[in-house]
Chain A
Amino acid sequence: MTSLKAIWTAVLDSLRDLLPIIVVIGFFQLAVLQQPIPNFGEIALGIVFVVIGLTLFVQGLNMGLFPIGESMAYSFASKGSLFWLLCFAFALGFGTTIAEPALIAVANEAAIVAAEGRMIENSEQSLASYALGLRVTVALSVGFAIMLGVFRIIKGWPIQYLIVVGYAGVVIMTFFAPREIIGIAYDSGGVTTSTITVPLVTALGVGLASSIKGRNPMIDGFGLIAFASLTPMIFVMAYGLMV
């Protein structure tokens, strides 16, 4: 019985998380645009799906993603091989980003912008190779970011110093990068970190910070995502400069 009750609470939590969107869309549709809600049945079914999905996701998070991230952090810390830990960090950042659907969409869009701005030839082949190059660039930058972030946790450097350097990098690149690429570059920082990467990487960082002596998981454990959303901006502008 207790597990049934737990599931019920979890479903209610998900429903509460979803309520604001339903209210906002309902209000704008009925009160501002003054139109009826189309396909009511399908929308209701969709909302049930979203609630089920969010509930399952949170369950899976606590059972799968958090524990595996943490247990790997502990194993790496006890193994004591910095080289392999950094390799793992890089692979995780690169591997999760290269296949990210949001990034694929942004890269294709960027290729169209580049062709429009006469930076590349407007043919299918050059568009495709530009988009692929951009994806690899962003994936490399995220791999580098997670690696750097893990190194920071081990060394215990204050995060703000590195962030200042990153911000300076973004600002400097902004002055040199072609105007067309700036908007895409700034947006690419936000699209790289997917829903599966975030919990894994967070658990890894927190796990590392709690297994290394003298590190505080709150101060040192977070921050990996911050790097992963900062470096793509710099790398994408650099890519725009080079191509």
Chain B
Amino acid sequence: MHILTDLFFVIAATVWDVLPIALIIFGFQIFILRKPIPNLKRILTGFVLVLLGLGFFLEGLEAALFPLGRLMAQQLTDPAFIAGNELERVLDWSDYYWVYLFAFAIGFSTTVAEPSLLAVAIKANQVSAGSIGIWGLRIAVAIGVAIGIALGAYRIVTGTPLYWYIITGYVFVLIQTLFAPKIIIALAYDSGGVTTSTVTVPLVAALGLGLASTVPGRNPLLDGFGLIAFASLFPIMSVLAYAQLSEWRARRGNKEKQERHNHAL
């Protein structure tokens, strides 16, 4: 069973990655704070669980989903697939509709499974005393990533400069910030950074590379990048929009209640 030996190596690599973090935490705890850690046993068990969990998670993805997903990204971006039966035709940006759909779907679905987003959602739910739903936040972020990756794929196909989109996105975020409820702003900005890690990056990178190497006139080294940037920008907008929408709905609900109340009087 080579999946088991792989699992061992992945767990070993995760331990290696975590080592600096553990050294910093315990170093500061012992030498600077000089306080015993409360529930040390429980915390260490937690660390072990996190390491084991990440090991299983990564190895499972590598065994099951990544190879298929990468192959799929290559096949979907292959001109032979996109042109279908009319091989000689020059491809237009609109011929890549399956690519955009795949980009959207894979952006959404990988974000829902992203462990670091789950961690932030759990924390936000605790801190807001339940008013920010774990699922609500994750779905809002996932929609943002989906739109971002789809638009990023469109950008690679058309070859427009990346910074146009990013700068326009920034302007949007700043305008939304002016109108969004204060309580959500920091969390929305954070959700940009947490969306792209273990699950999303490998699949999305394969998609970008596949597109940039098959679309005529694109250089994979120059145009293959940028999807991650889209995936970290758009969730900010979608989370701000989600907050504005729920606030607006709450306000309208109150108003209606008020009106009904006045009517009854």
Contacts and interface: CB of A to CB of B under 8 A. Distances in A.
A100 B201 CA distance: 13
A28 interface: yes
B193 A189 contact: yes
Contacts of A210: 127
B76 A191 contact: no
A59 B46 contact: yes
A75 B33 CA distance: 7
A60 B232 contact: no
A57 B53 contact: yes
A49 B60 contact: yes
Contact of B229 (A59, A100, A116, A186): A186
Contact of B225 (A52, A67, A187, A203): A187
A24 interface: yes
Contact of B46 (A51, A63, A160, A195): A63
Contacts of A196: 17-18, 21, 50, 54
Given A29-B68, A191-B228, A101 B123 contact: no
A18 B112 CA distance: 7
A193 B116 contact: yes
Interface residues of B, number: 104
Contact of A54 (B46, B57, B68, B201): B57
B197 to A, nearest CB: 5
Given A29-B68, A190-B193, A113 B25 contact: no
Interface string A57-98: 111111111111001100110010100100110011001101
B46 A67 contact: yes
B221 A33 contact: no
Contacts of B47: 60, 64-65
A52 B56 contact: yes
Contact of B193 (A47, A100, A217, A225): A225
Given A116-B221, A197-B21, A223-B186, A64 B46 contact: yes
A183 B116 contact: no
B110 A28 contact: no
A224 interface: yes
Contact of B63 (A43, A64, A171, A187): A43
Contacts of B193: 189-190, 192-193, 198, 225-226, 228-229
A171 B64 contact: no
B116 A195 contact: yes
Interface string B33-52: 10101110011111111111
B245 interface: no
Q: What size tier do the contact residues of chain A reach?
A: 35 or more
Given A23-B109, A65-B46, A189-B193, A95 B24 contact: yes
Contacts of B228: 186-187, 189-191
Contacts of B75: 33
Interface in A148-195: 158-160, 163-164, 167, 170-171, 174, 179-180, 182-184, 186-187, 189-195
Contacts of B231: 190
B91 interface: no
A49 B57 contact: yes
Interface of B: 3, 7, 13, 16-21, 23-25, 28-29, 32-33, 35, 37-39, 42-65, 68-69, 72, 75-76, 81, 98, 102, 105-106, 108-110, 112-113, 115-116, 118-120, 122-124, 127-128, 162-163, 166-167, 170, 173-174, 177, 182-183, 185-187, 189-190, 192-199, 201, 221-229, 231-232
The 10 closest A-B pairs by CB, nearest first: A64-B46, A46-B64, A49-B60, A53-B57, A183-B225, A60-B49, A63-B46, A56-B53, A53-B56, A57-B53
